[in-house]
Amino acid sequence: MSESAKSSRASGLLLHITSLPSAYGIGDLGPEAYRFADFMAASKQKLWQVLPLVPTGYGYSPYAAPSTYAGNAMLISPDRLLEDGWLTTDDVGVLPSFPVDLVAFADVSAYKEDLLIRAWKRFSSHASPAERKAFDTYCETHADWLEDWALFETIKQDHDEKEWMTWRADLRDREPSALIAYQAENADQIAMRKFWQFLFEQQWMDLKSYCNERGIRIFGDLPIYVAQDSADVWANRHLFTLKEDGYPTTIAGVPPDYFSETGQRWGNPLYKWDSMRATGYAWWTSRMARILELVDLVRLDHFRGFEAYWEVPASEETAIHGQWREGPGADLFDKLEKNLGDVPLIAENLGVITEGVTKLMGRFGFPGMAILQFAFDSDESNEFLPHNYREALVAYTGTHDNDTLMGWWSDTASTQNAEQIARAKAYCTEYLGLESGHEAEQLSWKAIESLMHSVARYVVTPVQDLLGLGADARMNTPGTTNGNWGWRLAPGALDAGVGARLATLTEASDR
């Protein structure tokens, strides 16, 4: 692991870009992102954790992306495009009355795509030779994934956004003559999608540099699997467990457990790890190199699956009838270190974790995660209680997959009965030292304080918990497909008072 991941104690905030305030209906890489960076710097925070920056997939989830390499064009700031001359005020027009507290994804996507099309037309007709050269250089530098992505998106639009497995056979199967002909016929549309990636890259790297200059590192997120309906699978069929028609033979998931009698059937195609190994893990090296261009620290989601993974036949309706398969283990991470040098990874090791996973993390020095919400359902030996933390750890009040702390306090887990809920609340009250009658108003800050004073190397707090927001501010509910990912921060909510209190706690806890 690199020195950037081994460095001294630090704390930060979890807030995805889409959750920032913006007049355009969705958080973006414009002025409010810089204001948030300024708030973080003033409050002594050193880590800004975001969700995957990729285009969203089914249910607008950033964990079901049609590309693991591309950036989400919906994050491009119209304000920045106005500054750069790629849009005019007439292009923007009168803004629709988007909701302030929630992303109306369909309406936002339609509006912003129209703006991005206008930006491309202006670039095509007005760009200077230097600007065209910068775009061409970007396309050449990223050709290994950008060509496939832009082509995939253009063909997909031509097929009414249907899955690539249902496309015209010659395009589905990437027959060279068919692809060459299609590229010639649709050159402008393909170039436009490359341009959007160029804009994203410019705006994102400007923001990242602004953060880095202020001592803030970007903490990114990399899912272990990629979506079936993605440019990644379409362009690399030999690396996935697929049939000749492109549909998967086996898929990812997790077996039945305390939370689900039928397990979780995720649906992602599984990797052919033997094929990956035969190439020296070239695809994984490329994937990891890409995200390390964009972020400083990476949370590797479902780390368990690298040691052993649950294989489910694609024909099964649930994840019950699967089997454990050996993952690539240390071999993959040895190759990544050989190819890329020390890689700053955090292992998402929540759930049932085996000794093999713990050994794998220990061998490479990957910190794990601890979630305070999981700490109060047993006794003082619970590993998620702050007094049981180890140094190599990222401690959270909750993640994007949890309810907010206040939501948890109000409802706790639906799998618990009234007696269990009462016992968990009583233990939480005692452990955090909450005053009788003032538990709810004290909960968030007492919880954050307990993590900040722990030995954990990093502490990351969702902004919702910093502000003591309720369940309506929850970002995602696993196992559901509607109503997720849309929460947005109210303008001005992170005021100087909140920042000063956080700064004081950060300094007192030596972070």
Helix (H) or strand (E) holding 221, with range, is strand 217-222
Find out whether 12 and 511 touch, Cβ atoms under 8 Å. Answer: no
Take residue 128 and report the two structure tokens written for it: 């200077």
Alpha helices in 308-438 (DSSP H): 330-340, 355-364, 405-411, 418-432
Output the furthest CA–CA distance in the chain (Å, rounded).
74
Does 342 participate in catalysis according to the annotation?
Answer: no
Does 257 participate in catalysis according to the annotation?
Answer: no
Give which of 68, 50, 340 is closest to 204, Cα–Cα: 50
Residue 79 three-state SS: helix
**Radius of gyration for the chain, computed over Cα atoms and rounded to the nearest angstrom:** 23
Distance CA 14, CA 257 (A): 28
Take residue 71 and report the two structure tokens written for it: 């950036």
Distance CA 406, CA 106 (A): 29
Of 201, 296, 348, 465, the catalytic one is 348
Does 401 participate in catalysis according to the annotation?
Answer: yes
Cα 443 to chain centroid distance, Å, stands at 27
* Residue 383 dihedral angles phi and psi, to the nearest 5°: -65, -15
Find out whether 264 and 319 touch, Cβ atoms under 8 Å. Answer: yes
Find out whether 509 and 7 touch, Cβ atoms under 8 Å. Answer: no
Take residue 328 and report the two structure tokens written for it: 């690539």
Of 84, 401, 439, 449, the catalytic one is 401
Take residue 371 and report the two structure tokens written for it: 């979630």
Query: Helices H, strands E: what count in the chain?
Result: 21, 12
CA atoms within 13 A on the CB side of 242: 21
Residue 303 three-state SS: coil
Beta bridge partners of 88: none
Of 301, 307, 377, 465, the catalytic one is 301
Task: List, by residue number, the catalytic residues.
Answer: 301, 348, 401
